Amino acid sequence: MGYVPSADLVPKVLEGDLRAIARLVTRAESGVDEARAALDDVFRHAGRAHIVGITGVPGSGKSTLVTALTAAIRRTGRKVAIVAIDPSSPFSGGSILGDRIRMGEIAGDPGVFVRSMATRGALGGLARGALEAVDVLDAAGFDVVIIETVGVGQDEVEVARAAHTTVVVSAPGLGDDIQAIKAGILEVADVHAVSKCDRPDANRTIADLKNMLALSAGPGTRYGVRLASKAGAAPGNDAAWRPPVIATSSVRGEGIDDLLAAVDRHFASLRETGELDARRTHIAERRMLAAGEDILRARFARHRDGRVFTLLDAVRTRRLSPHAAALRLLDELQPGGSE
């Protein structure tokens, strides 16, 4: 089968054709110009899926937990797509595909779609094109789309700005008692999952998380807005969502149904309180700003040997500050001007 124009893939994607879905996801990841109109079209058909972000420090058992959670979701009859953000290969820049190997037991399920994407140096734990891939999977009729990120840290909380529900996975013995605070976990998590709860030191991790959550009880912030504003809820009101701590063991199958129930309850809470629309608005804002940054970056690259080089020389010789040079470059690259 030869090359199929991206526009011709869209109707097949909407029908749930797996080959068309895989092709358009690849083009979203690659950022090819030819797919731009098709991806814009797909975006208009998306917006129905529950987007679940799962993050946590390396070694916390995220992929194993995602596999178990996916199996639990499938038992409810829902279709699941997984976008697993892999570290980039240092040689090819491509995905190492470790997650797809670990998720082999669910990959053969026709109601499950698994795709690994390379970070390719992108900050925030999300690969460029990941959210457009989510759009494709959403429009294709998957009920739940899970984004699994490479890790969590000060610069790796983008998944919390892209998902309706964020699950942070912690594991016993991976760090000191205030690791969660240092990583900003309390601010990004809607649900806490403690993996490997069959280990003897798991109870301490669970207790530490619960204690930290109790100390930080009350309105928090997310996306730059106060969480206590959910549907007019006052600070401390019972209507405000309080992140639960769920003990899980993927090996024993313990706590997986409880985790799914917590994820579903959170999504129901977002709908009931009206915060779902607010989160969608903030996700849209982030995506629009990120797209603008990508467009400007591409324009700068096209003019690297021309206008950019001239301004770089002015900055190098300190005739212009970086800020002043950036403003001048933006003025010169205004839409309607000569490109």
Q: Quick check: 228 pLDDT over 80?
A: no
Tokens of 289: 């700003």
Q: Quick check: 219 pLDDT over 60?
A: no
pLDDT of residue 252: 86
Lowest mean pLDDT among 5-9, 240-244, 255-259: 240-244
Report, as an integer, the average pLDDT of 183-205: 83
The more confidently predicted of residues 156 and 291 is: 291
CA 43 to chain centre: 16
Look at residues 4, 41, 39, 20 and name the one whose alpha carbon lies nearest to residue 132: 39
The DSSP element (H or E) to which 10 belongs, if any, is helix 6-14
Report, as an integer, the average pLDDT of 148-157: 62
The more confidently predicted of residues 230 and 214 is: 214
CA 276 to chain centre: 16
- Give yes or no for a contact between 114 and 103, defined as CB atoms under 8 angstroms apart: yes
SS (H, E, C) 62-92: HHHHHHHHHHHHHHCCCCEEEEEEECECCCC
pLDDT of residue 237: 35
Write out pLDDT tens, residues 36-94. Answer: 999 999 999 999 999 999 988 777 888 899 999 999 999 999 999 999 987 544 333 44
- Report how far residue 281's alpha carbon sits from residue 292's, in angstroms, rounded to the nearest whole number: 17
pLDDT of residue 180: 54
Write out pLDDT tens, residues 14-28. Answer: 999 999 999 999 999
Q: What is the mean pLDDT of the chain?
A: 80
How is residue 320 annotated by DSSP? S
Report, as an integer, the average pLDDT of 3-14: 95
pLDDT of residue 239: 53
Taken in order of first residue, the domains within the chain and their CATH numbers are 46-273 (3.40.50.300)
Which pTM value belongs to this model?
A: 0.83
pLDDT of residue 230: 35
What confidence tier does 181 reach under pLDDT thresholds 50, 70, 90? low
For the chain, percent of residues with pLDDT exceeding 90: 44
What confidence tier does 273 reach under pLDDT thresholds 50, 70, 90? very high
How is residue 179 annotated by DSSP? H
- Report how far residue 24's alpha carbon sits from residue 3's, in angstroms, rounded to the nearest whole number: 12
What confidence tier does 208 reach under pLDDT thresholds 50, 70, 90? confident
For the chain, percent of residues with pLDDT exceeding 70: 76
DSSP string for 243-306: --EEE-BTTTTBSHHHHHHHHHHHHHHHHHHTHHHHHHHHHHHHHHHHHHHHHHHHHHHHTTTT
What is the residue type of 310?
Answer: T
